[in-house]
Amino acid sequence: MSEALIQLKGVTKSYTRGKQSVPIFERLDMTIPQQDFVAIMGPSGSGKTTLLNLLGGIDKPTGGEIVFDAKRMDNLDESKLASFRAGNVGFIFQFYNLMPMLTAAQNVELPLLLTKLGPKARRERVNTALSIVGLSDRARHKPSELSGGQQQRVAIARAIVSDPKLLLCDEPTGDLDRETAGEILSMLQTLNRDLGKTIVMVTHDPEAARYAKRMLHLDKGHFSEKDLAA
Amino acid sequence: MGRTFTQIAAVTMMNLRSIPDRLWTSLSTVIAVAMVTAVLLGFLALANGFQSTVQGSGSPDVAVMLRKGSGSELNSNLTREQSLLVEEAPGLARGADGKALVSPELYVVVDGIKKSSRTKANLPLRGLGVRANQVRSGIKISAGRMFTPGTNELVVGRAVSRQFEGFELGRKIRLAAQNWTVVGEFEAAGSVFESEIWADVAVLQGLYQRGSSVQSVRARLDSPASLEKLKAYSEADPRLKLDVQAERSFYAEQGKGMSDIILYLGWPLAIAMSFGALAGALNTMYASVDARMREIATLRAIGFGGTPAFVGTMVESLLLSAIGGVVGALATYLLFDGISAATLGSNFTQVVFALKMTPQLVVQGVVLALVIGFVGGVFPAWRAARVPLLAAFKEQ
Ligand SMILES: Nc1ncnc2c1ncn2[C@@H]1O[C@H](COP(=O)(O)OP(=O)(O)OP(=O)(O)O)[C@@H](O)[C@H]1O
Ligand SMILES: [Mg+2]
């Protein structure tokens, strides 16, 4: 595999609950190469979502370093982190997180409002993203007029529209039936293979994990790599 | 800059388009703000109407003379000698016969029956000197004729005949244990005079055993500036030493007291109600932020700043209260503007006037509404700007 997109170096994360400090990770090391597709599994409460938040610049580590594209990002301030997220990360949530009053196309356009692109360029990008997820004919539909799988595809289009290197998915198929889940996962696979997106996906479902290139098991603050073939 | 604006505009539009999701709580805010605005504007229109009626009553080139320190016509008393001395004063306008335009007047209170409530209320009955017509300008006999001096005839102000029983033209009416005939009705440009009954001063003097004394003397000045000459003349003569005022400032002073009372009543009430509306607005806007928590966090995760969420919430709050303010102002205008009210003037007689809305009052009402919207929006907006990003991952 090629060089590292993300490196965690001795990352510590703890939450304070009342006066107590609750550690989630102690000195965690991890490397995610460019164009990797890694599934992260582990028991509930093991810190999978917390890890995604750290990778995506939504949360900050208590200690250690996070390096993205050879640049440290754990010490960025609030507004630099926001532009880091806008430029480098696409989020795909379990519950889609679409804006209910906006159409599919308007939802997909949101990240582009943070760029310098004009309305025409934005429209073109939106159309491309929607056609990638196969929803060009639903551009004017509101989320409430779409099925769960379609909503998640809109969310994927929104995640890729500004062409970030990294896609972070937290249980992207957790709310979908098996067949629809398969479609979504194949789509992620395609994005990884054909568009070179680096994907980190949290899932409870071993079936879903099979779509990834590799799988990491997170438990008690440590990783163990599992052979996907097993 | 352009980009920031695009973001703010997009988030604000999203925010506004989600208002129907919170229709009832949003509507209750609008209604609460509308009620506050309506109450405030009702009082302001009342005060304004009263003030403009009373102030409009005074003319700058008519002087009112009262006994020193008496304060009002009811408390004043002037001798015949004093009124004759006034006629010799400098600076007075004079008639064709060369005589000063001076009207010695009596001012007494009689009972009238209000048409609306059939209850007794005080009405002022004014006795006019023979030259009263030339002293006052802007008086128009709108029906019938002027009373004939020396007879029990009277003319009534338009507001009196409209609001009190028995003052129709030609009617006989019993006032102060005497029979009178209503021979005319007059208009006085909506001023307090329209709330008065006028008769001949000599007839009233006899009736009230006042001999030759009167309560006030009005004089027409040859110019407003001559008021000072008249004052100096009155001060220089120990027999006079009267309170000399321009009629305009005399009524302005009288009107101010009452309209101040209305304002002192209206503003605190409106402000007290504002707190209720404010609580409602805060509630609505906190509910709005809570309902949009995951959306706001999602936008933040995508890379939006906190400012669009802040502005969007502020705009929603200001919009709801502005609608409330406009609805309240409109309701006040449609329901109250121009309707008649009567209140006690400073002589404890009824003054009839109309509620009067003006653009300035509407502005005051809408400003109050916007203040409610601002305060009710700023704290929730602050919460919106600080929604934890982790909320994006929670189920709603
Ligand atoms: N904001 C927070 N404040 C305090 N503790 C937190 C916070 N977020 C998470 N935790 C705690 O950190 C631990 C890891 O949480 P996390 O959400 O990362 O787990 P997870 O592996 O995603 O679980 P699940 O599979 O249920 O989604 C849990 O014990 C959780 O209670
Ligand atoms: Mg989780």
Structure tokens at B84: 């004759």
Give me the phi and psi of B351, to 5 degrees please: -115, 125
**Is A1 a residue whose pLDDT tops 50?**
no
Tell whether the model's pLDDT for residue A39 goes beyond 70: yes
Find residue B244's DSSP bridge partners: B65
Q: What is the per-residue pLDDT across A108-148, written as a single tens digit (0 to 9) for each?
A: 999 999 999 999 999 999 999 999 999 999 999 999 999 99
Intra-chain end-to-end CA distance of chain B, in Å: 33
Nearest ligand to the C-alpha atom of residue A53: 1
Regarding the beta carbon of A55 and ligand 1, being less than 6 Å apart is answered: no
Question: Is the pTM above the cut of 0.80?
Answer: no
Least-confidence region, from A39-48, B51-60, B305-314:
B51-60
Vertex A77 angle, CA A75 and A79, to 5°: 145
B390 lines ligand 1 (CB under 6 A): yes
The verdict on a CB contact (< 8 Å) between B303 and A85 is yes
Separation in Å, CA of A173 to nearest CA in chain B = 14
- Which chain A residues touch B10 with a CB distance below 8 Å? 110, 113
List CB contacts (< 8 A) between B307 and chain A: none
Ion ligand 2: residues, CB within 5 A, are: A 49
Q: Hey, where are the domains in chain B?
A: 2-55+254-394, 69-240
| pLDDT band at B2; cut points 50, 70, 90 | low
The pLDDT score that the predictor gives to residue B343 is: 63
CA distance B154 to A35: 104
The answer to whether A83 contacts chain B (CB < 8 Å) is: yes
Nearest to A99 by CA among B293, B24, B316, B303: B293
Q: Is A111 on the interface with B (CB under 8 A)?
A: yes
Maximum distance among all alpha carbons in chain B?
98
Lowest-confidence region among A224-228, B4-8, B172-176, B237-241: A224-228
Residues of B with CB under 8 A from a CB of A: 3, 6-7, 10, 14, 17-18, 21, 294-295, 298-305, 389-390, 392-393, 395-396
Calpha distance A138→B50 (Å, rounded): 64
Distance between CA atoms of A128 and B48, rounded to whole angstroms? Answer: 64
Beta bridge partners, A8, equal A30, A66
DSSP 3-state of A189:
helix
- pLDDT at position A2, please? 56
Q: Dihedrals φ, ψ of A89, to 5°?
A: -125, 135
Q: Across the interface, do B295 and A99 touch by the CB < 8 Å criterion?
A: yes
Q: Name the residue in chain B with its Cα closest to that of A162.
A: B302
What distance in angstroms lies between residue A65's CA and the mean position of ligand 1's atoms?
21
Distance of alpha carbon A224 from its chain centroid, rounded? 21
Closest CA of chain B from A179, distance in Å? 23
Contact state of B301 with A111 under an 8 Å Cβ cutoff: no
A116 touching B (Cβ < 8 Å):
yes
Tell me how far apart the alpha carbons of residues B220 and B244 are, in angstroms, rounded to a whole number.
12
Return the amino acid letter for B117.
Answer: S
The arithmetic mean of pLDDT across residues B118-125, rounded, is 88
C-alpha to C-alpha distance for B255 and B152, rounded to whole angstroms: 31
How many contacts (CB atoms, under 8 Å) link A and B?
71
- Interval between CA A200 and ligand 1 midpoint (Å): 17
Residues from chain A contacting residue B17 (CB–CB below 8 Å): 101
- The whole-number pLDDT of residue A230 equals 45
Mean pLDDT check: name the lowest of A84-88, B255-259, B392-396: B392-396
Length of chain A: 230
**To the nearest whole number, what is the mean pLDDT of chain A?**
92
Q: Which atom of ligand 1 is nearest to the CA of A202?
A: 22
Distance from CA of A229 to the nearest CA of B (A): 30
Contact of B270 with B365, CB cutoff 8 Å: no
Q: What is the mean pLDDT of chain B?
A: 88
What number is the ipTM of this complex?
0.91
Give the residue on B whose Cα is nearest the Cα of A100: B18
Question: Which tokens sit at B268?
Answer: 């605190």
Closest CB to B17 among A86, A101, A110: A101
Burial class (CB in 10 A: 0-12, 13-18, 19+), A189: middle
Residues of B in contact with A49 (CB under 8 A): 393
Please identify among residues 22-81 of chain A the ones whose CB lies closer than 8 Å to any CB of chain B.
Answer: 49, 53, 56, 58-59, 79
Q: Write the residue with the smallest CA distance to atom 31 of ligand 1.
A: A45
Q: Which pLDDT belongs to residue B79?
A: 92
Closest listed residue to residue B108, CA positions, set B142, B141, B137, B73? B73
Yes or no, beta carbons of B393 and A49 under 8 Å apart: yes
- Express each pLDDT in B194-211 by its tens digit: 889 999 999 999 888 888
Judged on CB neighbours under 10 Å (0-12, 13-18, 19+), B122 is: middle
Tens digit of pLDDT for each residue in B290-308?
988 999 999 999 999 899 9
CA distance B324 to chain A (A): 24
The Cβ-side half-sphere exposure at B360, using a 13 Å CA radius, reads 4
Over pLDDT 70: what percentage of chain A?
97
Measured distance CA(B250)–CA(B63) in Å, rounded: 9
Cβ(B192)–Cβ(B161) below 8 Å: no
At A169 the pLDDT is 95
CA of A135 to the centre of ligand 2 (A): 28
Q: pLDDT per residue over B136-158, tens digit each? A: 888 899 999 999 999 999 999 99
Q: What are phi and psi of A196, to 5 degrees?
A: 70, 25
Give B344 or A70, the one with higher predicted confidence: A70
CA distance linking residue B221 with residue B60, whole number of Å: 9
Determine the Cα–Cα distance for residues A37 and B369; give it in Å rounded to an integer: 55
Task: Retrieve residue B95's tokens.
Answer: 């008639």
> For position B346, what pLDDT does the model report?
54
Pick the residue whose CA is nearest to atom 13 on ligand 1. A45
Nearest C-alpha of chain B: how many angstroms from A112? 10
Question: pLDDT tens for residues B50-104?
Answer: 877 777 777 888 999 999 988 888 889 999 999 899 998 999 999 888 899 999 9
pLDDT at residue B395 tops 60: yes
Task: State the residue for tokens 């102060």.
Answer: B176
pLDDT exceeds cutoff 70 at B16: yes
Q: What is the DSSP code (8-state) at residue A124?
A: H
HSE-CB of B279 using CA atoms within 13 angstroms: 5
Any ligand 1 atom below 6 A from CB of A18: no
Characterize A164-173 residue by residue with b for buried, 16 or more Cβ atoms within 10 angstroms of its Cβ, and e for exposed.
bbbbbbbbbb
Percent pLDDT > 90 in chain B is 46
Q: What pLDDT sits at residue B349?
A: 60
- Beta carbons within 10 angstroms of residue A11's beta carbon: 23
**Three-state secondary structure along chain B?**
CHHHHHHHHHHHHHHHHCHHHHHHHHHHHHHHHHHHHHHHHHHHHHHHHHHHHHHCCCCCCEEEEEECCCCCHHHCCECHHHHHHHHCCCCECECCCCCECEEEEEEEEEEEEECCCCCEEEEEEEEECCCHHHHCCCCEEEEECCCCCCCCEEEEEHHHHHHECCCCCCCEEEECCEEEEEEEEEECCCCHHHHCEEEEHHHHHHHCCCCCCECEEEEEECCHHHHHHHHHHHHHCCCCCEEEEEHHHHHHHHHHHHHHHHHHHHHHHHHHHHHHHHHHHHHHHHHHHHHCHHHHHHHHHHCCCHHHHHHHHHHHHHHHHHHHHHHHHHHHHHHHCCCEEEEECCCCCEEEEECCCCHHHHHHHHHHHHHHHHHHHHHHHHHHHCCCHHHHHCCC
Nearest to B302 among A59, A86, A170 (CB): A86
Given a contact cutoff of 8 angstroms between Cβ atoms, the answer to whether A22 and A16 are in contact is yes
